Every structure is written in structure tokens, then in C-alpha cells.
């Protein structure tokens, strides 16, 4: 028995070591293409490139298998799942494939025959691509390709690619520990392995046994020694208690005669820390003075229940649509504040505008909370029939209020599809909606609150009382196991127009786009204080204070990428969206990026923003 236990223990250790090596290779390949394992793969091309760095050679068919028409991004956990499915080709498999072409078993293929096969069959290659293969002297001679040597070189190149990625990861890890000290990577022996669960965007509700991932394992620490800095600049802003509350914004009550449009929405926190939200189009038929506001939405149906999201900061960036959607021009953003409401008042011409909601991530972030027990969602009555618990019904009413974007007390197919995309990654078509209409309570082709309740009850019945699928839905909507909404923030947008009827429509539910990032940077550059870094005139730090938020932007005017060390060690009562006191950022040549967003930890106390940016 002792020997058996010992063998079992050794087997588990061996398996754990194999998994640790696998995830280390995953990270190495991922970080060769992307800056951080928290950054998402945003295109088919990136997915193909990352797979190649992991020693795979994906066909277009393979890439399309994982990047469908519904895919917008894939995260690191998705990538790990794909690598588990797509095993690297072995030499035996390659030789077998070539053997089907070399029917004479000669050990080579004529260039003319190879050219025809590669340019006319399967995923056709271009003549230039085939020529590049034929010109390789290592396995070509006398108009022939020695495919045995080709396979040897292929395997060697694949292994070298993985080895180079691992070596780069190790060098980067040492540099971070030596220079930054803020995000020292755990060694392979102590690495926390992420659960291989796809993100909600591509997961199915039937994957009810999957648990949320912990994401990237990082150990914040202070630098063991001061970094070697070429130049630096310090910015200090002192803020009084509650001095971030102003009343510049005109109250909507003063515009009772103005025409109004309203839409709700929500910020959702992803497993990798990314924040996604609804995006809107605003239509104005004629020139008018308008007032646009955004604030967290209190949807809590249970008296006395905590509403964590009400302290989350919100903002709206207003962009004008020109000839194309790609060409959006920043108009302004909601910088005026009245309590939890932020707004903007000004004149807009006729046309289409994009409203991009934004939150810094200072308050909406991953927080570990101690939960004593899991809330009960369903129970069986005396008649043996399943029913929803009182707590779960109250939560479903909160969810209904959030996803009922137009606030008419009913869910349209469009509103319901935003809910479906978030919770299952799929959409409900007209035919499926007609089936819902036959089985659940609807009015004017829209789902009622009771219909929504019955829909969830049916889901519980389909699983014979197993609440796993219901929990997948709740977790994807930001609820924890105690039915508290801790990783989402519903909000409401109000638009008042003096001379016309405004129309607002939610069009997307996605992560912050490059247009939003560009708008944030541009607003800080336009309105913030600019400081040129001493000893380096190509690096400019912009700092802007808007209400209870301070944002800094780094502009790199040089031809080379730069690494900027950022220290908040002298700040007091401050909360950074980075979650670290000391960190470093890499800024590409001729570009700008957000360094950090900072808010007061306790708004009732004074806070001091003291940030030092240093060029390494």
C-alpha cells in the first residue's frame, strides 16, 4: 500500500510538472506576440502567429475552427485550450503525408510536381511562397525536394521556435525582477495553473462544470533596488476631502421642456480583468443644444442589500461619425459632475454620434471576497415541482431591469440577444423567438418579466434541478455565489435635446475599442497639463484631473520604443487602476498611451497624487 501511494504521489507530481511546462510554453509563445497575458488576441492573423510561435503550423481551416464569425477576441485561457486540442505534427505524420505523394517511395518529390500540388490543391499557396521553399538548399538539389531532410528541418525549426520563446520569457522575467520589481513572474515550480475554460464569449451554457479562471499569476512586490533611470519627471496634485464633487452640471429638472431619450447598459468585468460594455449610436435630426449624462443604475430589489457598483466611476466619450465608422472624431466627454452623475452640455449638429461608455477600472476590479455559502437558486415544493427561490427571483428581476435597455418593462429580441451573447455567446434568431412566444408570456412580441422568470425555470427543469447552467449565466453577468453583483456595473444614459427628438440605440457589447483609447488619450492631451521629461524632450507626460479621477498619458515622440518606470510610492489615499504602487509600461515609437487612472481610496478624506515617471 505504501509503494502504491508513493507511485500515485510521484505520478501526480509528474503530471503537475508536465502541466507546468505546458503552461510555461503557452505563456512563452503568447508573450512573443502580445505584450501581456492579460492582453487578448484580436484577429485571425494574431491567432495564427501565436500558434506558430508555439510550434504549430495551423491551416486556415484550423484557424477558422476557433475564430468564427461570432469571435471578437480570444484570451490566454482560450489559447491554452486550443493548444491542448491542436497537437504539434510529428515527423512520422509528416513522412506519411509525403509518402502519399511519393508513390514510388523514392524519398523525394520533383519540384514541378510539388509546385502543382501546392498551388492547385487544398489551401493554395502563391508561386512566391512555393519558390521560397524550393530555394532552400538544405533539402533541395537537382530539381528535387528531399522530404526526409525537409521533415528534419521542419521539426528542428519548430523546436527552436519554442525554445527561443521560452528563453525570451526567462530573460524578460529576470529584467522585470531586476528593473521593475512590480510584476515578478512566478517560477515554473510555483506557477498557479489557470483552469482551461474559454471566455464567456465562446463558451456554451452546457459547459456547466467549468469554473471561472484565476487568470495570470502575478506577485506584486517593491523593487529590490532602484531602477537605472536616464530621466524622470514628478507630478503632484493635492485634493481635499470630497473636493471632487462639483455642481457645474445643469440639473435635468431645468430642462423639463426638452425632449429626452434614455438607454441603460452595463460594464462587465472579464476573467482577464478587461472591461466590456454596451456601445451606442445617437441620432440627431437637427442642430440642437443637448445635455448628455451617465450614472450607475440602482437596480437592487432587495432592501438592505449592498450595491457595490454604485461607487464605480462612469464616463461617456462622444464621437462624431463621418464618412466611415473607422473615422470617428472626438467631440467631448462627460467631465462635469453632480454627485454620482457625470455629464456634458453643448451644441451638436445633425448627424450620427457614437457614445462610448468608460470606467477606469479603479473600483470595478477583481476582488477576493470570503463567501460563507452558496446561495440556493431552486427548490422542490410539496408537489415535487421545481420553483425558483425568493432570493433568485429578486436577482432575476435585477437582471431584467439591467438588460431592459429601453426601460419599457419588456425585452425585445434585440435586448434579449445582448443578454444571450454575454451569457452563452450565441444569438436567438426569429424562428427561436417565435418558439419562445408560444411557450412564454409576451406582449407585442416582447418578453415580459414573468416570461423571463419562466424561461429560467425551464432551464432548471431541463437540468432536473441542477443549477450549474444558471450559475454560468449569473457568473457571466458579474454575480458571485452569494448573489451579489461584484463584477459588473449597470448604468443609465440620459440625453436631453432642446430642439429635436434624440434617438439612442445600443449597437455593440464589446471591450473598449481603439477609438475609445484614442479618445481618452486625446482628451487628456487637449485638457491636461503637459510636462516634458527632464533630459529627454521626446517624452511628454500629460496629467488631467476630471472630477474624482486623475489620468496620466505618456507620449513617445521618438523613433524607438521606450520603457517608463512609474512610481506612486509617495501618493496617499490613492487607488490606481493598475493595482500596483510601482510598475513599468512600454510605449511604442511615435505613439501615446494611458499610464494610469487614479481615484481616492476614501472620498471622505484628503488624497495626494504624487507620481514619478522615469525613463529606463
Which phi and psi (to 5°) does residue 176 adopt?
-65, -40
Give the C-alpha separation, 531 to 554, whole Å. 10
> Which one of 51-60, 362-371, 373-382 scores highest in mean pLDDT?
373-382
Residue 201 has pLDDT above 90, yes or no: no
- The CATH architecture that domain 232-243+524-615 belongs to is Sandwich (2.60)
**Are residues 317 and 330 in contact, defined by beta-carbon separation less than 8 angstroms?**
yes
Which pLDDT score is estimated for 462? 85
**Grid cell locating 495:** 440625453
Give the C-alpha separation, 66 to 85, whole Å. 11
Q: In angstroms, how far is CA 132 from the centroid of its own chain?
A: 38
- What 3-state DSSP class applies to 221? coil
**Grid cell locating 300:** 437592487
Please provide the average confidence, as pLDDT, over all residues in the chain. Answer: 82
Residue-level length of the chain = 616
Beta bridge partners of 381: none
The CATH number of the structural domain formed by 368-486 is: 1.10.238.10
- Distance set, CA 418 to CA 301, 425, 427, 429, 522 (Å): 22, 9, 8, 12, 30
Mean pLDDT of 558-581: 91
**Are residues 596 and 554 in contact, defined by beta-carbon separation less than 8 angstroms?**
no
Which pLDDT score is estimated for 252? 57
Q: Which residue has the higher pLDDT, 544 or 9?
A: 544
The 10s digit of each residue's pLDDT in 376-396 is 999 998 888 999 999 999 999
Residue 287 has pLDDT above 90, yes or no: yes
DSSP string across 408-475: SSSB-HHHHHHHHHHHTS----HHHHHHHHHHS-EETTEE-HHHHHHHHHHHHHHTTT--HHHHHHHH
**Are residues 558 and 537 in contact, defined by beta-carbon separation less than 8 angstroms?**
no
Residue 175 has pLDDT above 70, yes or no: no
DSSP string across 85-132: HSPPPPHHHHHHHHHHH-TT--SEEEHHHHHHHHHHSSSPPPHHHHHH
Residue 454 has pLDDT above 70, yes or no: yes
Cβ-proximal residues to 614 (8 Å cutoff; 6+ apart), any chain: 227, 229, 230, 231, 232, 233, 564, 565, 566, 567
Nearest to 389 by CA among 486, 483, 485, 488: 483
**Are residues 206 and 226 in contact, defined by beta-carbon separation less than 8 angstroms?**
no
Nearest to 237 by CA among 594, 614, 613, 607: 607
**Grid cell locating 115:** 509546385
Give the C-alpha separation, 30 to 53, whole Å. 8
> Which one of 223-232, 279-288, 458-467 scores highest in mean pLDDT?
279-288
Give the C-alpha separation, 600 to 397, whole Å. 33
Which pLDDT score is estimated for 497? 94
Report helix angle 76-85 to 2-33, nearest 10. Answer: 120
Give the C-alpha separation, 318 to 320, whole Å. 7
**Are residues 234 and 452 in contact, defined by beta-carbon separation less than 8 angstroms?**
no
Query: Which region among 142-156, 180-194, 248-262, 390-404 has the lowest average model confidence (pLDDT)?
Result: 180-194
Which pLDDT score is estimated for 447? 96
Residue 181 has pLDDT above 90, yes or no: no
The ranges assigned to domains in the chain are: 16-85, 91-155, 232-243+524-615, 368-486
Mean pLDDT of 277-285: 95
Residue 223 has pLDDT above 80, yes or no: no
Which pLDDT score is estimated for 36? 77
Q: Which of 203-232 are b and which e, b meaning 16 or more Cβ less than 10 Å from the residue's Cβ?
A: bebeeeebebbebbebeeeebeeebeeebb
- What 3-state DSSP class applies to 401? helix
**Grid cell locating 13:** 507530481
**Grid cell locating 446:** 416582447
Q: Which residue has the higher pLDDT, 582 or 372?
A: 582
Query: Which region among 82-86, 196-200, 419-423, 497-501 has the lowest average model confidence (pLDDT)?
Result: 196-200
16-85 fold: Recoverin; domain 1 (1.10.238)
Which phi and psi (to 5°) does residue 490 adopt?
-70, 150
Q: Which residue has the higher pLDDT, 494 or 55?
A: 494
240 band by pLDDT with thresholds 50, 70 and 90: confident
> Which one of 6-10, 242-246, 362-366 scores highest in mean pLDDT?
362-366
Equal fold, 91-155 vs 232-243+524-615? no
Angle at 430 between CA 474 and CA 420, to 5 degrees: 15
Which pLDDT score is estimated for 250? 57
Nearest to 598 by CA among 239, 207, 337: 239
CATH superfamily of 91-155: EF-hand (1.10.238.10)
Amino acid at each position: 500500500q505504501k509503494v502504491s501511494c508513493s507511485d500515485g504521489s510521484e505520478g501526480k507530481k509528474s503530471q503537475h510538472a508536465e502541466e507546468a511546462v505546458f503552461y510555461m510554453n503557452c505563456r512563452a509563445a503568447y508573450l512573443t506576440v502580445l505584450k501581456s497575458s492579460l492582453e487578448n488576441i484580436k484577429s485571425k492573423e494574431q491567432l495564427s502567429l501565436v500558434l506558430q510561435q508555439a510550434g504549430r503550423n495551423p491551416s486556415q481551416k484550423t484557424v477558422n475552427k476557433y475564430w468564427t464569425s461570432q469571435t471578437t477576441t480570444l484570451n490566454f485561457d482560450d489559447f491554452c485550450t486550443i493548444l491542448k486540442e491542436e497537437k504539434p505534427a510529428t515527423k512520422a505524420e509528416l513522412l506519411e503525408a509525403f509518402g502519399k505523394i511519393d508513390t514510388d517511395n523514392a524519398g523525394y518529390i520533383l519540384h514541378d510536381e510539388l509546385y502543382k500540388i501546392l498551388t492547385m490543391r487544398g489551401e493554395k499557396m502563391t508561386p512566391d511562397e512555393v519558390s521560397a521553399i524550393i530555394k532552400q538548399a538544405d533539402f533541395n538539389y537537382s530539381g528535387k525536394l528531399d522530404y526526409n531532410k525537409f521533415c528534419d528541418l521542419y521539426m528542428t525549426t519548430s523546436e527552436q521556435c519554442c525554445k527561443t520563446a521560452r528563453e525570451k520569457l526567462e530573460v524578460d522575467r529576470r529584467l522585470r525582477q531586476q528593473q521593475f520589481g512590480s510584476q515578478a513572474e512566478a517560477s515554473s515550480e510555483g506557477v498557479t495553473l489557470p483552469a482551461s475554460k474559454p471566455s464567456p464569449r465562446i463558451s456554451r451554457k452546457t459547459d456547466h462544470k467549468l469554473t471561472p479562471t484565476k487568470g495570470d499569476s502575478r506577485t506584486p512586490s517593491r523593487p529590490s533596488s532602484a531602477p537605472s533611470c536616464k530621466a524622470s519627471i514628478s507630478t503632484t496634485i493635492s485634493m481635499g476631502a470630497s473636493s471632487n464633487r462639483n455642481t457645474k452640471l445643469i440639473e435635468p429638472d431645468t430642462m423639463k421642456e426638452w425632449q429626452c431619450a434614455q438607454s441603460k447598459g452595463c460594464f462587465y468585468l472579464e476573467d482577464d480583468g478587461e472591461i466590456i460594455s454596451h456601445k451606442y449610436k445617437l441620432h440627431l435630426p437637427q442642430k440642437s443644444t443637448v445635455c448628455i449624462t451617465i450614472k450607475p443604475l440602482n437596480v437592487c430589489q432587495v432592501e438592505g442589500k449592498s450595491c457595490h457598483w454604485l461607487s464605480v466611476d462612469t464616463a461617456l466619450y462622444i464621437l462624431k461619425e463621418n464618412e466611415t465608422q473607422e473615422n470617428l472624431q472626438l467631440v467631448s466627454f462627460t467631465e462635469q459632475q453632480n454627485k454620482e452623475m457625470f455629464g456634458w452640455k453643448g451644441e451638436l449638429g445633425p448627424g450620427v454620434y457614437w457614445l462610448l461608455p468608460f470606467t477606469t477600472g479603479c473600483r470595478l476590479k477583481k476582488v477576493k471576497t470570503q463567501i460563507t455559502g452558496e446561495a440556493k437558486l431552486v427548490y422542490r415544493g410539496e408537489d415535487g415541482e421545481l420553483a425558483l427561490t425568493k432570493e433568485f427571483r429578486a436577482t432575476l428581476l435585477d437582471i431584467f431591469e439591467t438588460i431592459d435597455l429601453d426601460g419599457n418593462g419588456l425585452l425585445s429580441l434585440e435586448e434579449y440577444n445582448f443578454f444571450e451573447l454575454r451569457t452563452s455567446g450565441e444569438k436567438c434568431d426569429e424562428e427561436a423567438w417565435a418558439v419562445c412566444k408560444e411557450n412564454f408570456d409576451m406582449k407585442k412580441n416582447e418578453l415580459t418579466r414573468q416570461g423571463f422568470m419562466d424561461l429560467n425555470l425551464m432551464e432548471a427543469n431541463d437540468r432536473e434541478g441542477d443549477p450549474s447552467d444558471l450559475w454560468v449565466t449569473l457568473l457571466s453577468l458579474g454575480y458571485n455565489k452569494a448573489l451579489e453583483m461584484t463584477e459588473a456595473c449597470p448604468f443609465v444614459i440620459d440625453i436631453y435635446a432642446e430642439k429635436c427628438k434624440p434617438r439612442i440605440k445600443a449597437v455593440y457589447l464589446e471591450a473598449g475599442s481603439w477609438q475609445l483609447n484614442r479618445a481618452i488619450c486625446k482628451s487628456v492631451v487637449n485638457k491636461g497639463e503637459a510636462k516634458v521629461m527632464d533630459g529627454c524632450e521626446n517624452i511628454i507626460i500629460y496629467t488631467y484631473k476630471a472630477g474624482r479621477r486623475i489620468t496620466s498619458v505618456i507620449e513617445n515622440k521618438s523613433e524607438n520604443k521606450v520603457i517608463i518606470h512609474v512610481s506612486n510610492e509617495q501618493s496617499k489615499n490613492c487607488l490606481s487602476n493598475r493595482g500596483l504602487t510601482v510598475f513599468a509600461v512600454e510605449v511604442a515609437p511615435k505613439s501615446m498611451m494611458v499610464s494610469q487612472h487614479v481615484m481616492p481610496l476614501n472620498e471622505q478624506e484628503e488624497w495626494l497624487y504624487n507620481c514619478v515617471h522615469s525613463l529606463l
